[in-house]
Amino acid sequence: MRYPASRSPLTWLGGLLALYLVVPLVAFLVRLAAPGDRGFGVPGLWSAVEVSVVSATITTVLVALFGIPLANWLAGSRGPVAAVTGVLVLLPLAIPPVTGGLLLIYLVGPYTALGQFFHGALTDSVIGVVLAQTFVASPFLIVAARSAFAAIDPALDDLAATLGHRPLARFWRVSLRVAAPGIRAGLLMTWLRAIGEYGATVLLAYHPYTLPVFTYVQFSSTGIPTTQAPTALALGIAIVVLLASQLHRPVRTRKAELAAPSPPAPAPPTTVSFDLDVTVGSFRLTVAHRAASHRIAILGPSGAGKSMTLRALAGLLGPDAGEVRYNGQLVSAVPVEARDLGYVPQSMALFPDRTVWQQLLFAVRADPRLAAWWLSTLHLGGLQDRLPDQLSGGQRQRVSLARALSHSPRLVLLDEPFSSLDAPVREELRRELRRLQNDAGLSTVLVTHDPEEAALLADEILVIDGGHLLQAGPRAEVFSRPVSPAVARLLGIQNLVAGVVAGPGEIAAGMLRIAAATGDLPAGSEILWHIRPERITVGDPGGYGAVVLDVADIGTFTIITVQLTGGPDLRIRTADAAGLERGDSCRLGLDPELISLWAAGPGTDEFRARLQS
């Protein structure tokens, strides 16, 4: 049975806890409203308030200064040192504050070397209060900030590097800004914990009184009546601070002032050569190639190492990933930010607190006039003042591409840039990118698992799988002569059939003999052959007999699956199904000049076994 939210048992359980938290506050307010001495005139009260507020503020500033860098390091580090440091950071939360005070006495007490060096000024002073508060309160910021840093998309840092920003600038302009909400929450908890600290403070710095220590002293000497004032002040300060923390300034989206558009200047092509050997986790990538074209595509299935290859080409895996050259120039040791790249990650990785125009100008060498031109060229006009969450998927992809191009990079790296988009949007952006390649002379390295996308956007194709290069070469050669069935499958080639040369101009496929141009291949040679689905003629009176296995009308054309009499299954793509239905007999025309065949290579036995199964 489902209950409305107000009747849910969980709601009632939560309500009981909320009631428990509120009732003491109500009881105190009732007592405070009653006549009598509340303790507001007790000497030392306002001094204690001042000490608590000042020391908590100093503590929070110190914790922020040292704790934020530590949290960032912990978020990005692995290994025993980071693990031990993480445990030590949490230790003050796991021990009683009084125990923390005792530990601090061993470090800064008046009889320690450090305490004597400062002539006892580290205890029974505001400095001692700050030291005690820092010890017990710093974990709150570090834990919150560490979680905030760990939640940042790593692609944002990679992206900022490819746009020319050095590590410190990336921390300041990216990580710190994105993690800001978590850091603010950690700072709030740190300040509240510091101002309420008692156990460690009372041991290390009994004087001057903080508000918690003053409250305990008053309670011990006079009981409840004169503790109403410090309690009320503590509650009031906490409420004010909590209410102030809820006041967030809206993200500034000042209207952008666009520069006069200026198209990119013609750029010389950039070709890439590489010899990579790198291991990440348990995956090893060993790929080498010398590209002849400035537009290449890296094609392969998920987990093949495509994105890893692209990251290595960008320098994001470091100089030890292998040798990388741009136009023959060795760049392996050149930092990412100095390689003059445009990078479009798979996640698009837009900075969440920046408008479209700010995204386009984020690169160190961004040109406002060029950015304005790309804004118009990629149909982003009128969107320059929007934040990422106000854009559609296609618009975000266009922004990511425009940002990568707004500083005239020598090489653009595209990591499956259209995989998450709807088919119409994907097709539109593919055509747009192809036009830009032709008109602006872009040098691109495209990572994709889509053979059609690779063929459309690259002159040269690399097929990889399992971290190894299976085949590379010009687009036409790779598609017309895959070196193995595995490559053919990755290229999306249909009607791929294992066969044998039966004689000059004839191949055997099962029991069927098919006319084909066998060239110089001798009889008995094992081969792979295929014919494109749209090149098969349906209803040829002199053709080969076949039985229709399936007919699928997908709107613009029909896909027919047939089995040749005594031979293999084939797929046909046609605009005219000729009224065929499943189970019908038909005759097919297979033009010998349209059948491609080549000697079988590695993997043919496995492929043949799959066919037979």
What domains sit in the chain, N to C, each tagged with a CATH number?
25-245 (1.10.3720.10), 272-477 (3.40.50.300), 494-612 (2.40.50.140)
DSSP E strands, 136-281: 272-280
Spatial distance between the Cα atoms of 345 and 365, rounded to a whole number of angstroms:
19
Write the pLDDT tens digit of every residue in 449-478: 999 999 999 999 999 999 999 999 999 999
168 backbone φψ class: left, alpha, beta (φ>0; ψ -120 to 50): alpha
pTM for the full predicted model:
0.83
Tell me the CA distances in angstroms from 611 to 509, 598, 605, one per residue in order.
12, 18, 10
Nearest to 126 by CA among 230, 50, 39, 24: 50
The candidate with the shortest Cα–Cα distance to 604, out of 488, 479, 484, is 484
pLDDT at 15: 85
Which DSSP symbol is given to 172? I
Dihedral sign computed on CA atoms, order 376, 381, 384, 387: negative
Q: What pLDDT digit, counting tens, does each position of 532-548 carry?
A: 899 999 988 989 999 99
**Angstrom distance (rounded) from CA 284 to CA 147:** 30
Share of the chain above pLDDT 70, in %: 96
Q: Is 150 helix (H, G, I), strand (E, B) or coil?
A: helix
The torsion of the CA quartet 361, 362, 367, 369, rounded to 10 degrees, works out to: -10
* 235: its two tokens: 């509650």
Query: What is the pLDDT, as a whole number, of residue 429?
Result: 85
Q: Cα–Cα distance between 3 and 7 in angstroms, integer?
A: 6
Cβ burial 193-228 (10 Å sphere, 16+ → b, else e)? bbbbbbbbbbbbbeebbbbbbbbbbbeeeeeeebbb
DSSP E strands: which ranges in 281-356?
Answer: 283-290, 295-299, 322-326, 329-330, 341-344
Q: For 466, phi and psi rounded to 5 degrees?
A: 60, 25
Closest to 101 in 3D by CA, of 55, 67, 126, 135: 135
- Helix residue spans in 225-367 (DSSP H): 228-245, 306-314, 356-360
347-380 in b/e form (b: 16+ CB < 10 A) is bbbbbeebbbbbbbbbbeebbbebbbbbbebbeb
pLDDT at 613: 45
* 26 contacts 215 by C-beta, under 8 angstroms: no
Low-confidence ranges of the chain (pLDDT < 70): 1-7, 248-254, 601-613
Give the strands of the sheet with 526-530, arranged side by side: 512-515, 506-509, 496-503, 526-530, 596-599
548: Cβ–Cβ under 8 A, 6 or more apart, which residues? 560, 561, 562, 580, 581, 582, 583, 584, 585, 586
Contact 176, 183 (CB under 8 A): yes
